[in-house]
Structure 1
């Protein structure tokens, strides 16, 4: 009996040690891109016999987290502005473009409030929710759009009229599903997802106000598994990777 128990414990230890020896990568991913990145991660995990942990959240919050911890392998924010603005820190190395997203006006399905433009965000009869400009990428872009449209005063007027301020695009989508809001600004791609499509319609914004935002995966300087991380980046930029991005509404 003792011999059997010893054998089982030895086997368990061996399996545990094997699992621990698997390379584990940490991928900081903006909320809106999590779906396609998770699908790609499964492919890379199988190819390299590794584990890819995805930390999801607002792009600014994620950068603050990786900057503080100085741990992780890859970072994908909702806009390449996060790369441009933070290159000086020295944490972001190679980059790979994998597509783009664009901000649009979100309204309830069928647009029952007959919302037509950004001006409707100041209408007190409309329930408005926006993202915090200091948290998620869509918040930063929203601030730029509103300011470019009619100046800083208009930006403050819209945010003063908002009944809710969220931390990322996911909060906004959830509020539409629960029919708590009438209008917002969010990333176009998420409106096409199966869980959102029956609740949300979109209104395009002129590209001069809402330019396409490039999505760029960044290799982190403190990555312990740079070869695997670079392979993930190359796969994401390949035709197969782009097809996965397109499936989730990214162009």
Structure 2
């Protein structure tokens, strides 16, 4: 009897070691966590062989986790910048463009009382939340936007900046709690959270691309491909949340 149990245990160990039913780890930038969470929950309800584990955070934070842990199946950063970094690091097997992302300045309840146009954000009593360019896609994007804005506007924004968040979830929280008047977010994030927002001037408006990436660090490529196919078939859920979905 003991011998049979040992054989059974050994078989189970060998099956798990080759990734027979290993979970899929899906890294998603915080700005897309709501639709991603719905897709993952829907998938996990019908999947019998494996589950998808959703991990969210700043695009840079997530990439660092993948690099240091050498684990991860799918990566959905909020901008092309971090996709390109993942490619340069040799992590990406397949990359598929999924969404367009447009940065805006979201307004808190206090912010709505002070700001009627983009130029108002440089008023003396306005508190602004920007993003850390090392951890957050919006932080990196804003570095490029600044090059297209007048120097006095850039100086005014930087002077009014009271915090540089590590991910968009922090900025959303700052806006909801009136910690700041203005916070850089994507237009989709503003819509999902019911924030009024002001757009950047046309000369400084950018439309970035968020891509879904199948990683070389995957633990079970067949499982990862199954979920990737499911995600692409259900990408309309992103549209439901106000995202600009790219037509394939």
User: Could you tell me whether the CA contact under 8 Å between 1:26 and 1:52 is conserved in 2?
Assistant: yes
> Of 236, 241, 248, which residue of structure 2 is paired with 1:248?
241
Cα 1:97/1:166, change in 2 over 3 Å: same
Residue correspondence of structure 1 range 197-216 to structure 2 within 5 A: 197=194, 200-206=195-201, 208-216=203-211
Contact 2:138 2:185 in 1 (8 A): yes
Tell me what 2:35 maps to. Answer: 36
What does the per-residue CA deviation read over 1:177-224, in whole Å, with 9 as the maximum and x for residues that have no partner? 11121112211111222xx31xx2011234542322212110110201
Which range moved further: 120-129 or 154-163?
Answer: 154-163
Judged with a 3 Å threshold, the aligned counterparts in structure 2 of structure 1 residues 222 and 114 are, in CA distance, closer, same or farther, namely closer
Call closer, same or farther: CA 1:233–1:150 in 2, change over 3 Å: farther
Q: Quote how far apart the aligned CAs of 1:91 are.
A: 0.7
Question: Which shows bigger deviation, 77-86 or 27-36?
Answer: 77-86
Match of 2:216 in 1: 221
Post-superposition offset of 1:157? 5.0
What is the CA-CA distance between 1:48 and the residue it aligns to?
4.8
CA contact (8 A) 2:115 2:121 kept: no
1:230 deviation in Å?
A: 1.9
Question: Structure 2: how far apart are the matches of 1:222 and 1:214?
Answer: 23
Instruction: Tell me how far apart the structure 2 counterparts of residues 187 and 58 of structure 1 sit (CA, whole Å).
Output: 13
Shift of 1:75: 0.5
Which residue number corresponds to residue 72 of structure 1? 72
Q: Are positions 1:61 and 2:56 aligned together?
A: no
Aligned-partner Cα distance in 2 for 1:245–1:208: 27
Conservation of the 8 A alpha-carbon contact between 2:130 and 2:164 = yes
Structure 2 Cα separation of the partners of residues 144 and 232 of structure 1: 34
RMSD of equivalent CA atoms: 2.5
CA distance in 1: counterparts of 2:86 and 2:166, whole angstroms: 20
For structure 1, the residue ranges without an aligned partner over 5 or more in a row are 1-9
Q: Which residue of 1 is the match for residue 175 of structure 2?
A: 176
**Secondary structure of the equivalent of 1:78?**
coil
Distance 2:187 2:164 in 1: 19
For residue 6 of structure 1, what is the aligned residue in structure 2?
none
Measured in 1, the distance between the counterparts of 2:226 and 2:210 equals 17
CA–CA distance in structure 2, aligned partners of residues 206 and 225 of structure 1: 45
Q: Tell me what 1:27 maps to.
A: 26
Q: Could you tell me how far apart the structure 2 residues matched to 1:225 and 1:156 are?
A: 49
Secondary structure class of the residue paired with 1:112? helix
Deviation at 1:50, TM superposition (A): 1.2
Distance 2:97 2:142 in 1: 22
Q: Which deviates further from its counterpart, 35-44 or 220-229?
A: 35-44
